[in-house]
Chain A
């Protein structure tokens, strides 16, 4: 499979796996035709930060690349602190697996990142993984990120990504570290056609973290804990849809992660802020999501693991064979799959 260098929207393909495992080939603009009146489509409206910061480790003057990878809260004033993955010299054109370690990082070290200065506050159990805090006013931090930061990218797309190619149409507040890329399936015309079908489109905000560090030990810790926010209006629409028999169609793994973390007994969804922890995988009961629309993730990644909550391995293997045989494109600007959950915990509508 090959990689595209920007969102393809109208031209992307969509492989549909029904709840009985039947596979149909389509295109992204088919999405509204798969949606029924009363369904609710849930997307992540996080905009993507330019989270890759080139600079130097001041104590050694060694070149480094810092990739912001997580934050502990979505509370707006508290954006100075980030979890970050640090690489030695080089950039995204070198595969992450081949990137050198940074110099030995110690608590209190200063990192010079263009106009920004960050202090290492904690080492998080791995020589690449730290918590850092930026110095200066919030306006300074954000203007520094805006001017100096670059979107995180990988060797499969060598040309520099523009910030605009990492924002979905629904992108609102900049809290994602990599694009919530399933959201590229939506454009505004598709949103209109979903509404014309009698489906609702709602959003939550989830600080999608990085998808890969290239370090096997570190990758087993992905996804990192990710804060999310579910607006009251979103939770109410989801509850109403489910009670009326509509399906919850999650656009992307981040939406599934937030919804399932916020799931209450009987499949209701708790509005407000939370931090999604742990992994979803084979055997995880899905209490809210009926369908996931996702990119085409490769076996072994945490994204793929999450798909195992929706369908058994035989069905996923059949899906993978179809994706391969029909040359679907992978990675963040690739094609999409619609994957219906094979079985679910029944909803108990009358609960109070």
Chain B
């Protein structure tokens, strides 16, 4: 019953071939959403698109300026528009993690390019589609995947933490600016998950103590459903008020 709320919602997910992104592709597809996902490696994209039948895989790198519009074009072409954009693709910065003082500027810039500038560019390129979604009362939503490293200044997580803090703030400002257009934006901290990215950062972590990406994906899918429900409820209240003054 609750799953039907996402049926036919057009969702794009960056970083969709591993970790949380892949779990979101599976979960949102399972709930009936029309899903397009983006990732850098053609073979991985093909494999996931074949595995999760009916999803559309797009090869592209959100950190590359030249890739953004081709990605945006393929997303809206595949889905016929867009209702939900999940800016999930993430870069750790230097691996293994090092103090900021030992972080190469290029690694810092790479983290910013993937985690902040890429989401900014892609969101901007897709704003027309999201605004069209709003005009048709389809509850458009931008989700920025954040981290507790965006809040807490963990030593050695400088490039990642600073870029995620910027993404979180960027998403909050989008929200303030876009509310008038009927587009919502939310930054989500999914918690410490058992993902390839986490394994790179903390190779000796106790994996059993980490959250499963599939569980985080369920929470985020629930959040998207709640957004759909609240917009539908608002419309019903508005319609009710109109007929019963």
Q: Which residues of chain A have a CB within 8 Å of any CB of chain B? A: 45, 47, 49-50, 76, 79, 138-139, 142-143, 145-147, 162-164, 167-174, 188, 191-192, 195, 202-203, 231, 233-234
Contacts and interface: CB of A to CB of B under 8 A. Distances in A.
B73 A47 contact: yes
B132 A174 contact: no
Given A147-B70, A170-B132, A171-B128, 8 more contacts: A45-B132, A139-B49, A143-B74, A172-B76, A172-B82, A174-B73, A233-B135, A233-B136
A100 B68 CA distance: 34
Given A142-B73, A163-B70, A233-B136, A172 B128 contact: yes
B122 to A, nearest CB: 12
A49 B78 CA distance: 13
Interface residues of B, number: 30
A170 B73 contact: no
Interface in B69-83: 69-74, 76-78, 80-82
B128 A231 contact: no
Given A79-B77, A143-B58, A163 B69 contact: yes
Of the candidates A139, A162, A188, the one having the most CB atoms from chain B within 10 angstroms of its own CB is A139
Contacts of B69: 162-164, 167
Nearest to A48: B73
Contact of B77 (A162, A174, A234): A174
Contacts of A76: 77, 80
A47 B124 CA distance: 13
A259 to B, nearest CB: 16
Given A139-B78, A233-B136, A172 B180 contact: no
B128 A146 contact: no
Contact of A173 (B56, B125, B129): B129
Contact of A139 (B56, B72, B80, B135): B56
A231 B125 contact: no
Interface string B108-152: 000000000000000001011101100111000000000000000
B70 A146 contact: yes
Contacts of A170: 128, 131-132
A163 B82 CA distance: 19
Contacts of B181: 188, 191
Contacts of B177: 188
A231 B181 CA distance: 17
A106 to B, nearest CB: 30
Contacts of B72: 47
Contacts of A203: 132, 135
Contacts of B180: 192, 195
Interface string B74-117: 10111011100000000000000000000000000000000000
B59 interface: yes
B57 interface: yes
Nearest to A74: B80
Given A147-B70, A203-B135, A233-B136, A142 B77 contact: yes
Contacts of A191: 181
A173 B70 contact: no
B74 A45 contact: no
A50 to B, nearest CB: 8
B81 A172 contact: yes
Nearest to A168: B128
A211 to B, nearest CB: 21
A167 B128 contact: yes
Nearest to B57: A139
